[in-house]
Amino acid sequence: MELFKVRKKENTLTQILIKCSSGNQKAQEHLYKEYYGYAMSIALRFSNNRDSAVDILNNSFLNVFQYLTKNGEKEIKNFKLWLRKIIINKSIDYYRSNKNKYDIEYDEYLPDTDIPEDVISKMTAEDIIFQLQKLPDTYRLIFILYEIEGYSHKEISDKLNIKETLSRSNLSRAKNMLRTILQKADLHE
């Protein structure tokens, strides 16, 4: 029964993608609606505010629709994974284009601090995203790519065009800073 449901959903998705290929705006809206939650949650992790996240999300979907219109849906094996990669790439592009614009000064030295599990557990996802957005763009990007998306330092260095060592050191700093931010957030509550 479950298999049947999965296949039915795949068929529906294929039909929507076919319609999107022909430029059907209704189908595009349907697809956008269907994957909005999934895609937006990824975009929000990488961005420092909601508007940026929406920009990343919309640019990603625009790429999806343009690709579908040009190449069709046949080569797309796993749409969800494909969409995720597009969003990550768009986030990196967004970071590159706004690197100088939004980078803020922050303290270089941050002490290693422990963070109790219960502090994190009682936080909602929105709270965590809100705290993540307080991180500098570079730190946040490296932290999310490495810890959440599972990229290696080699891949991160390739994507961001930085050295591996810098990726490692920035990840360490990002973790320390996030711990501090989360503890502060817990204290304020």
The residue (of 44 and 160) whose beta carbon lies closer to another protein is 44
The residue (of 110 and 115) whose beta carbon lies closer to another protein is 115
Output the CA–CA distances (angstroms, integers) from residue 47 to 23, 27, 123, 155, in the order listed.
Answer: 29, 27, 19, 20
Minimum Å gap between C-beta 55 and another protein is 9
Q: Which residues here bind another protein, judged by CB under 8 A?
A: 23, 25, 28-29, 32-33, 36-38, 40-41, 44-45, 54, 57-58, 61-62, 65-66, 112, 114-115, 117, 120-121, 123-126, 128-129, 147-148, 175, 179
- Residue found under tokens 């343009």: 66
State how far the Cα of 136 lies from the Cα of 103, in Å rounded to an integer: 6
Minimum Å gap between C-beta 144 and another protein is 9
| 98-114 burial: b if 16+ Cβ within 10 Å, else e | eeeeeeeeeeeebeeee
Minimum Å gap between C-beta 84 and another protein is 11
Minimum Å gap between C-beta 14 and another protein is 21
Minimum Å gap between C-beta 183 and another protein is 11
State how far the Cα of 20 lies from the Cα of 30, in Å rounded to an integer: 9
Q: What's the chain's Rg over C-alpha atoms?
A: 19
The residue (of 100 and 124) whose beta carbon lies closer to another protein is 124
The residue (of 3 and 169) whose beta carbon lies closer to another protein is 169
The DSSP code for 123 is S
The residue (of 89 and 176) whose beta carbon lies closer to another protein is 176
| 64-97 burial: b if 16+ Cβ within 10 Å, else e | bbebbeeeebeebeebeeebbebbbebbbebbee
